[in-house]
Amino acid sequence: MNDLVENRRSKQRGFTLIELVVVIALLGILAAFAIPRFAGLEHEARSATVLGVSGSIRSAATLAHSLWLSQSINPVTMEGNVIDLTEGYPDASDIAATMADLTGFTVAVNGAADQAVFSKVGPSANCEIVYNDALVGSAPAIAVDVSGC
């Protein structure tokens, strides 16, 4: 009789229906907790991208200003691009030329307002950086709006 029981156990392969149901239930529970946590990361990712580009704009403006201080010339040349300066900082019309990569952003320059608006491409309404030309004795104003990212 023991041989018969051992033969049946040795021939049994795979998982029982109960084991499969338990594993599927556990996966369902894990997914119920994980999906909401990862679904909300889209806003944070867009915001981080906009903040990263704003930091790049600040760095590019500072680099152009450093060139202006060291060379005492206007315009300066950065990476083969001629950059016109206002108060030693890039004009709104040329700030985009100081950037190496603006993938995922559009740039609209309002020459009358001395302003460049970098907008994140996509469905977000207020997900942008606004660069205003430098005024006498000050650095350019750079405002970041991530309220609609």
Evaluate if residue 39 carries a pLDDT over 80: no
34 CB burial (10 A radius; 0-12, 13-18, 19+): exposed
pLDDT of res. 11: 63
pLDDT per residue over 83-126, tens digit each? 999 999 999 999 999 988 888 899 999 978 899 999 998 877 78
CA gap 104, 121 in Å, rounded: 5
pLDDT per residue over 58-80, tens digit each? 999 999 999 999 998 899 999 88
Q: Look at 32 and 136; give whichever has higher pLDDT.
A: 136
pLDDT of res. 57: 95
Question: What is the rounded average pLDDT of the residues 21-49?
Answer: 83
80 CB burial (10 A radius; 0-12, 13-18, 19+): exposed
pLDDT of res. 132: 95
Which residue ranges make up each domain of the chain?
Answer: 42-145
